[in-house]
Amino acid sequence: MLNVWVVPADEVVSPNINLLEVLEKLTTMEKRMESMENEMERLKTENKEQAEELMILNKTTVETNIKTDELMKQNQAPKVAFSASLLSSFGPQSVGPFHNGLHTLIYEYVFLNIGDTYDPNTGIFTAPVRGAYAFRVFSKAFGSPERDVTAGLFKNDQHIISTHGHQASGFISSSNGVSLLLEEGDQMKVNLYPGQWIFDDGEHHHSTFSGHLLFPM
């Protein structure tokens, strides 16, 4: 005997598993995954940009620290500068001539002595630190057929430069300058040569000796 079962049409078309609902859920999940992937890419890009900004910031910070250290070193470096003229008393006066070897000139009138490195009692400048220094000497004298104005700048006992002038009458002037590397304790002075003279006036200050520290080393 043949048995026949009859299945309703709606059960064939619409099974227990709702395919449309599943597809809809899958589509939603795909969209969420895509959104998450996009968000991850955005975060990667953002992190990369932040890393680059951080590198730039670190570089800027290092450069700023270097400049700050340089400024601190400059501020900590001793301040050294002096300038003095030969005579402190008013009225024209000549110094020299001397005939017993070199004569150290004492520049009595002090315009400036930052660091207290120039001694107006001896005419000697003493370097407080190792460094580059600049010096300038101006010399003036009466013209004379018998004598010149010749003064030399000396580092310790070593001659460095000279001012020199000669004419028979009137006034003669000469100047010279130099930059030197000095060690701590080195001394600078101006010596008048034997048989020479130099002129100054305590009011007008014609003959001067000046120097300053350019930078320590």
User: Per-residue pLDDT tens for 31-72?
Assistant: 888 888 888 888 888 888 888 888 888 888 888 878 877 777
Contact call for residues 77 and 216 (beta carbons, < 8 A): yes
Q: What was the pLDDT predicted at 7?
A: 47
Looking at the chain, the whole-number percentage of residues with pLDDT higher than 90 is: 37
Whether residue 142 is predicted with pLDDT greater than 70 in this model: the reply is: no
d(CA 197, CA 93): 10
Contact call for residues 84 and 111 (beta carbons, < 8 A): yes
Q: Taking the domains of the chain in order of start, what are their residue ranges?
A: 12-76, 81-216
Query: Between these two residues, 38 and 133, which has the higher pLDDT value?
Result: 133
Residue 33's identity, in one-letter code, is M
Q: What was the pLDDT predicted at 214?
A: 96
pLDDT band with cut points at 50, 70 and 90 for residue 202: confident
Q: What was the pLDDT predicted at 10?
A: 53
- Rounded to two decimals, the pTM is 0.64
What is the gyration radius of the CA atoms in the chain, in angstroms? 45
To the question of domain 81-216 being in CATH 2.60.120.40, the answer is yes
Of the given ranges (9-23, 51-65, 98-112), which has the lowest mean pLDDT? 9-23
Q: What was the pLDDT predicted at 143?
A: 64
3-class secondary structure, 211: strand
3-class secondary structure, 213: strand
Whether residue 113 is predicted with pLDDT greater than 90 in this model: the reply is: yes
Look at the alpha carbons of 16, 21, 22, 23 in this order and tell me if their dihedral is positive or negative. Answer: positive
Q: Which of 138, 141, 140, 125 is nearest to 180 (CA)?
A: 125
Cis peptide before 8 (omega within 30 of 0): no
Query: Between these two residues, 25 and 122, which has the higher pLDDT value?
Result: 122
* DSSP label of 30: H
d(CA 36, CA 123): 84
For residues 97-103, give the mean pLDDT.
Answer: 88
Q: Which of 201, 142, 199 is nearest to 169 (CA)?
A: 142
The mean of the pLDDT values for the chain is 84
